[in-house]
Every structure is written in structure tokens, then in C-alpha cells.
Structure 1
Amino acid sequence: MKKTTLHILTLCFVMFAAIAQAQDIHFSQFYQSPLNLNPAMTGVMNCNHRMVANYRNQWASILKNRAYNTYSASYDQKLPVGRYDYFGVGGTLWGDKAGTSEFATIQARLSGSYAKKMGGYRKKAHYLVFGADIGLSNRSIKSYNLQWPSQHDGNGGHDPNLAGEVIGDPSFLFADMSAGVLWFSVFSKESNFYFGGAFSHLNRANQSFEGANIPLYSKFTFHAGGEFMPAQKFGLSPGVVTFFQGPSWQVNVGNSFKFLLGNSRRYNQAFQFGLWARLANKLNDKKLMDAIIVSTRFDYEQFNIGFSYDINTSSLFTATNGNGAFEFSL
């Protein structure tokens, strides 16, 4: 009975992987992966150059070494235009692998933006930013790792020597394009606010392994956040992001509490603790609460490192015992 239950759970996770991969990757620390969030975020920073790395591991408590693994690395920089405006240019490489079939996606993407100052002065300013990106992706699947009904040996077991299903093309390439807009306001060195939106998969590339016409769902992203200092050494960093893609939607909302360290007037060292919630619709499940996310981050000069953990609260709670995902960001 225990072995049968394990097989059923594994099959459910394989099916879930196929459904989930019709949607995009996501990071609980979305605020630590700006170029994946919105191409208009390219070059929007309080420095001239930025390098970002993210890693996410999900469902390891059930799938073990076949857990969902997502990684991303990006670089972007500012290029001044006149006295106040600037271009942003950058590049992103991300990859994702999931489940028994090792269903994988790899994408390389170039992004650019233009930031126009709309008002204010040197230390307090308001900007309107337009951005776009273009990328090339590869999707692949290893169907021979899966178990098919035709491989049932008649005694409740599986015989890998029996013929299974064959997928026409286990790998294909496709182009991808996105565009976005962003408004951000800087009130002081410690306080700012932003909101924006992005329209991803403008070209709706075909996603079929068999040559059928299955266009990728376009995705609409809306996000907002900021940083505020109600006390000399204490800050708040609220944030919210919503994704709409095909029949699916997701909302992440929460806040990080920032504690400035040391006695330096520049306050360039800080510790952050965050609490976030993720809500999402699901097939045949009216429960919207998906996860509670606990995050930490340490800032030192222009360097920061973050960690977060997803506590699963969905209908998969029984199978996962609440173990969802963990993430690192740098």
C-alpha cells in the first residue's frame, strides 16, 4: 500500500509539473530578480552596475533529486543620456528543470530601457521608464524517464523493457519578446516608491513537441513596492506582484522589516526580515492560499545576500508536510 501511494504521489507531481511548466518560472524573492520581473527594471538601481543570481529548489521533500530547480543570473548597467536621463542595458540567463521527465527550459535574453526624468531635482526625482527584451529559449523533455500504461507487467509492477510512448521531438527552440513600463519616485536616500507593469510573450511562440499549434500564454505582470524609514534605524519595504497568464493568476504580497546596523552615518549595513503570502488559483481547488514565505537578507555596502523559505499551505500540504521551497539570492 505504501509503495502504491508513493507511485500515485509521484504521478501526481509529474502531471503537476507538466501543468505548471505551461506557466512561467517565479521566485518568491521577486524583488531580488528585477530583470525577470519587468524589462523596464533594467538599469533602475542606485548604482551604475548590477549583478544578480537566484536559485530556487521546490518539492524536494517529495521528489528528492527530481525536485524543481530554477536558477537565474543577470547583469545590467546605466548609460547616462544628458544630465538626468539614462539608458539601461542588460542580459539574463535562466534555466528550469522539473520532475521525472526532467522537463527543462533554458533562456538567454537581452533587455533595454530608457528612463526619462519627469520632475523633481537632484535628490528627489520622479522617472518614467519604458523597457523591452528579446530572448531565445530551448525546451526539452526526457520521455524515456516516464512510466507508461503499456509498460505495466500485469503483476502490479513496471517493466522498462516494454515499449512506451514516443514524443516526436524531445527538444525545440523558440523566440520570446516582452515589454514593460515603470514609474519610480526617489524621496531621499532611504525612501522610494515604484509601480509598473509588463506584457510578456508578445509573440506567443508555439510550445508543442508534436508539431501541433499550442501557443504560449501571454503574461501580464503588475507590481509595486518601495522603501520607507519611519525611524532612524528602522525601515519598511512593502511589495506586491500579480501575474495573470492564461487561466492562471498569482499574487505575492508582504513586507520586509529593515534594521540598520552600526553607527556609521551612511548606514550601509542592514539586516532584513520579511513575511509574505502567496495566493493562486488552482484546478478543482477553491483554496487560494498557496504559501507563507519567510525571508531574510543581509546588506553590506553594495552587496546583499538573501534567503527565503516557502511554507506550503495548499491542498498538497498533506503530501509535503508543509515543505515547499527554499531560495537563495545574491
Structure 2
Amino acid sequence: MKFGKSIIFFTVMILAVLNGFSQDHLYSQFFNAPVYLNPALNGQFEGDFRANFIYRTQYTTSGSPSTYFTASMDYNIPQFGGGIGIIFNRSSEGNDFLNTNNIAGIYSYSVGNDDYILSFGLQAGISNQSIDYSKLVFDDQINPTIGIIPGTSSSADALAFNNKYYFDTGAGINLVVGNFMAGAAFQHLNGPNDSFTGTPVKLPLRSTAYVTYRLDLNSSDNMDEDDKSYVIPSVVFYKQAQSQSTSAGVEYKHRSVSAGLWYRSGGQSGPSAVVVSLIFDLFVNKETREKFRLGVSHDAPVSGINYGGTSGSSEGSINYQTINPNRADAAPKFEGATHCYEFY
């Protein structure tokens, strides 16, 4: 009986992924994947060079787990109030039968003054999607009594294509006014064709919008910024085709440690979940702002899929930023304004 339930669950997961080919993955630690969240956040940090890495494993014990990875590197150009960068994304879904890779270049620029900063970002690159048929199980390979029949092949017709390349573009905008930040980003603006059948199917536009507020708990104290405490509530909304999700929560930041608690609605994109996160900033040199950031988070589903059968989802992230000692000193373009990186 238990094995039968596992087969049913596995089949449901496969169908869900097949029906959701065109849905992008989302990170619970959106603040530790800023360039993935919005290309307008490219080049927005203290220092000259930044590298971000984030990894997510989803429904590890379900029998059909999925993994996601993003790496980005960006270079801050003070004259732009932004910079240039590159991002790589990889997703392996349904026990690695569906793999998607993307690499893209990013350019960002800001306008404003000491009261506000308005940033723009553009992204363009190449994506590849492929299917590994050896990891798919069809109904004629399943025996109602014993389950999957070892060594059998299916008579199901193969798709016309199992390896697809396409050009992909995105853009974003971000506004910071005092202790308030809001932004929006759009991916797949050119509507690339990602069909495996030969019949053109456009990859749906992915829209992201967010608002964040930074509450200084020591505003009346004459303290160094690094010693202050902040409460940072945020709301992030995602929509792609008929799938949408909203993350709402709060982060408490004290010196170099941050803790967060979030609720993410599932809708048609999956079960709702409660997310906890913990972030550590390890400064190598505070004067030059050279640092490592380590982040961990865990999602516990509270509706739909049972937690005991999936073990939820986990994320780990690493961020490193440093300066170029050979580059001439250049003041930030809007030195007196609050910058987006001060919210995360």
C-alpha cells in the first residue's frame, strides 16, 4: 500500500512538472539573490566586485525532488550608479528529467539625487531546455501490483525535440526613497518559444513586484550604522501565466546577524509555506567593506503537500564582495541617499 502511494505521488509530481514547463523557480531568500530578483539591483553594493551563489532543494524526500542554482557576478561602476554583470541559472526538476540552463549579461544604471535613487536594469542571454527520457516513467511501464517494471521501455511517442535553445531577455526598475524601496522586474520579454513538440509555444512573461520598508530601531541614538538594529518588512509578488505567489514577512537585523520569518502563498504554483531564514555577515575588513555573507532558510509547507512526505525545501547562499585595490577611489554616485543594499 505504501509503495502504491509512492507511485501515485511520483506520477502526480511528474504530471505537475510536465504541465508546468514554463514556470520559473522562486527563491525564499530573494534578498540573497538580488540580481535574480531584479536586474536593476545589479552593481548595487558597497565595493567593486560581488559574487552571489544560491542553491535550493525542493521536496527532498518526495521521490521526485527538484534542485535550483543561481550564480551571479557583478561589477560596480560608480559613474553609472550601477554596473555590469553576468548571471547563470540552472534548474533540474522531477528527479533531473527536465533541465534548464540560462546565462545572461546585465547592465544597470541609476538616476537621482541625495533624496532618491531610481535604477534601471537590462538583461539578455541564451537559455537551453532538455529532457532526459531515460528518467521518465509512463503508464505502460507500471504494473498495478508491483509498481514500476524494471528494464522495460515505453511505446509512448517521443517529442519532436528534447533539446531546445532560445534567446531570452528581461528588464527591471527599482526606486529607493528614504527608508522605502519598491521595484518591479519582467523576464521573457521577447516571448521565446520553448516548445518541445514543434508547435510554437511562448514562454510566459514572469512579473515580479516588491515593496520593502526599513525601520531603524535606534534612530534617536548616535550609533554607527553597523551597530544599529532594524526591522525590515517586505512583500514580494510573483506572477507567470496562471501561476502566482506572494511572500510576506519581516526580517530583524542586528549588527551582522539577520533572522527572518515569512509566509508564502502557493496558489496554483504549489503549497503555501512558512519560511524561516538566518543570515550572517562575516567581515574580512570593515573599512573596505570586504565580507562574506552566509544564509540558510527552510520552507515548511502548511497546505497541499504533507511535510512528512517531502521534508519541505531548503536553501543555502553565499555572497562575497570586495574592492579592486588598483582602481582609483570613486565616491558613490548618490553618496547622501539610502541605497538598495541597505535593505538587505
Structure 2 counterparts to residues 167-206 of structure 1, below 5 A: 167-185=159-177, 187=178, 192-206=179-193
In structure 2, relative to structure 1, the CA distance for the partners of 1:303 and 1:168 (3 Å cut) is same
Instruction: Give the match for residue 70 of structure 2.
Output: 72
* Counterpart Cα distance in 1 of 2:248 and 2:25: 17
Shift of 1:194: 1.7
Q: CA RMSD in A?
A: 2.1
Correspondence for 1:229 among 211, 216, 224:
216
Kindly indicate whether residue 203 of structure 2 is the aligned counterpart of residue 216 of structure 1.
yes
Instruction: Give the match for residue 136 of structure 1.
Output: 126
How many residues end up aligned between the 2 structures? 301
* Counterpart Cα distance in 1 of 2:143 and 2:313: 36
Q: Specify every segment of 5 or more residues in structure 1 that has no aligned partner in the other structure, as ranges.
A: 261-269
Shift of 1:152: 4.5
In structure 2, relative to structure 1, the CA distance for the partners of 1:32 and 1:86 (3 Å cut) is same
Instruction: Give the match for residue 37 of structure 1.
Output: 37
Correspondence for 1:293 among 275, 292, 296:
275
1:62 partner SS: coil
Instruction: Give the match for residue 325 of structure 2.
Output: none
In structure 2, relative to structure 1, the CA distance for the partners of 1:147 and 1:234 (3 Å cut) is same
2:6 partner SS: helix
* Counterpart Cα distance in 1 of 2:36 and 2:4: 40
* Higher RCO, Cα 8 Å, sep 6+: 2
Report if aligned partners of 1:57, 1:325 keep a CA contact under 8 Å in 2. Answer: yes
* Counterpart Cα distance in 2 of 1:104 and 1:53: 19
Kindly indicate whether residue 306 of structure 2 is the aligned counterpart of residue 317 of structure 1.
yes
Instruction: Give the match for residue 96 of structure 1.
Output: 91
In structure 2, relative to structure 1, the CA distance for the partners of 1:291 and 1:318 (3 Å cut) is closer
Shift of 1:71: 0.7
In structure 2, relative to structure 1, the CA distance for the partners of 1:77 and 1:318 (3 Å cut) is closer
Correspondence for 1:279 among 240, 243, 265:
265
Correspondence for 1:247 among 242, 245, 250:
242
The residue type paired with residue 315 of structure 2 is E
Q: Specify every segment of 5 or more residues in structure 2 that has no aligned partner in the other structure, as ranges.
A: 284-290, 319-344
* Counterpart Cα distance in 2 of 1:290 and 1:40: 28
Instruction: Give the match for residue 288 of structure 2.
Output: none
Report if aligned partners of 2:242, 2:268 keep a CA contact under 8 Å in 1. Answer: no
Structure 2 counterparts to residues 47-86 of structure 1, below 5 A: 47-63=47-63, 66-81=64-79, 85-86=80-81
In structure 2, relative to structure 1, the CA distance for the partners of 1:213 and 1:239 (3 Å cut) is same
Q: Which has the higher strand share?
A: 1
Identity level (%):
27
* Counterpart Cα distance in 1 of 2:244 and 2:38: 17
Tell me whether 89-98 or 125-134 shows the greater mean CA deviation: 125-134
1:31 partner SS: helix
* Counterpart Cα distance in 2 of 1:9 and 1:161: 21
In structure 2, relative to structure 1, the CA distance for the partners of 1:2 and 1:153 (3 Å cut) is closer
In structure 2, relative to structure 1, the CA distance for the partners of 1:329 and 1:203 (3 Å cut) is same
Report if aligned partners of 1:57, 1:67 keep a CA contact under 8 Å in 2. Answer: yes
Report if aligned partners of 1:257, 1:274 keep a CA contact under 8 Å in 2. Answer: yes
Report if aligned partners of 2:301, 2:307 keep a CA contact under 8 Å in 1. Answer: no
Tell me whether 223-232 or 237-246 shows the greater mean CA deviation: 223-232
Shift of 1:22: 1.9
Q: Could you state the TM-score of these two structures normalised by the residue count of structure 1?
A: 0.85
2:47 partner SS: coil
In structure 2, relative to structure 1, the CA distance for the partners of 1:47 and 1:154 (3 Å cut) is closer
CA distances 1:256-306 after superposition (whole Å, capped 9, x unpaired): 11122xxxxxxxxx11111001013128xxxx9700000001112232110
CA distances 1:129-155 after superposition (whole Å, capped 9, x unpaired): 111100101101112322222335686
1:208 partner SS: coil
Shift of 1:168: 2.2
Q: Could you state the TM-score of these two structures normalised by the residue count of structure 2?
A: 0.82
